[in-house]
Amino acid sequence: MPPPMQTLRRTARSLGVLDRIRIGVLAAGLVFVATGLLPAGTARASIGRIAPLLLFLFSVIVLAELTKEAGVFDAIAQRMARAGRGSYAALFLLCVAFASLTTVFLNLDTTAVLLTPVMLALAARAGIATLPLAMTTVWLANTASLLLPVSNLTNLLAADRVALETRAFAARMWLPQLAVLAVTMALLWAFYWRRRMRGEDAYDPPDPVPVRDRVLFSATGGACLLFIGAILAGVHTGVQLGVAATAAAAVAAAAFAVRDRSALRPALVPWQLMVFVTGLFLVVPTLERWGLDDAMRALVGHDGDAAGAFRAAFSGAGLSNVLNNLPAYVAGESAVPASNKEQLLSLLIGTNVGPVITPWGSLATLLWFEWCRRWDVRVPIRKFVLTGAVLAVLGCAASVGALLLTGRAG
């Protein structure tokens, strides 16, 4: 057998189930274009729409990977555990804050990809029950993704559709974000963190781990602060956010090029995410042309009142758990009239907060399950589904209610 064929077969065998699914989604999209089920013009328009978003996703994940490689996340987790002083209540609040801030400023997929292994390692070192930390990560990766356009790919799409820049978007979503965080915290404590669930009264704070390279630590930490500063300064959605993330990633990469080139490896490139998102934006327009669009119009309706907002949110949440939140949002967006901005933002809430019931509800949840599998963390599926359903219903209801309040106040 020729060496290239052997290499190809070895590569195919090394792919996990999730990788095969992502490649399959892209392959299906390309087949739809090749066979004419999706017109070439529609495909080009769909890919053109997400090009700036792909730049952002590529850059922010590279930035986060290098930040983790420099030990910044580990240092924060260590300090967080020590700051809790053995108190589970204090550690709970610190974990919620850490996961929420990571999701808000560095995207929910970053939380799933990078914070999950940090939390799992922290649990092992401190002798802490693993499931409470793991569930905190996956729930907040989804429910803490409402505040800023950068927090979720769906937010970037919605901000563009309703013409809201970063500050205006945050002004509409801050109260819904606080509402769903309160619900998430209450349910996390009740289902996973209280004494009966975690099994211990206190934990032993782990010993501090020294920073491997202070130059890299400072450079990557500074790059993250620069990126966050650009967001807080009111950088617009779209290409500008991609440029800001690219500039921050370039600073981190330059530091590693000088101090540790071995870290600049091909694995840094988030090809799985790029392939999956590109494939979805070919598959979803095809499904819309062949019935999904009509189905979503029937589910979402066209009423711009409070009932229409709740209907859109729960329709988006339901479809997210059946398919995935990204195609659910894209399909729902086409069903919402352009003038119904609150209904569209409610749909966004449903597709962000709602996909916590099934393992495939969001890409972040899929990535989280993959990390749990690698770390041999047992996730009780029945409890995951039932508690996720409670969070989806109560979280969507609370956040849509808060959205309607801010709309009236405005």
DSSP 316-342: HHHHHHHS-HHHHHHHHHHHS-TT-HH
pTM over 0.75: yes
- Confidence (pLDDT) at 238: 45
- Confidence (pLDDT) at 165: 84
Token duo for residue 110: 């970053």
- Confidence (pLDDT) at 172: 94
Residues of the chain short of pLDDT 70, as ranges, are 1-16, 18, 232-241, 374, 408-410
| Cβ burial, residue 98 (10 Å; 0-12/13-18/19+) | buried
Region of 265 please: left (phi>0), alpha (psi -120 to 50) or beta: beta
What are the angstrom distances between the C-alpha of 262 and each of 69, 115, 216, 299? Answer: 11, 22, 13, 51
Cβ 121 vs Cβ 206: under 8 Å: no
- Confidence (pLDDT) at 347: 95
CA distance 111 to 96: 12
- Confidence (pLDDT) at 25: 87
CA distance 127 to 365: 25
Which ranges of 163-213 would DSSP assign to H, the alpha helix?
Answer: 166-188, 195-198
Token duo for residue 330: 């894209």
pLDDT in tens, 42-81: 999 988 878 887 887 788 888 888 988 898 888 887 888 8
Cβ 243 vs Cβ 236: under 8 Å: no
Q: How many CB atoms lie within 10 A of CB 313?
A: 30
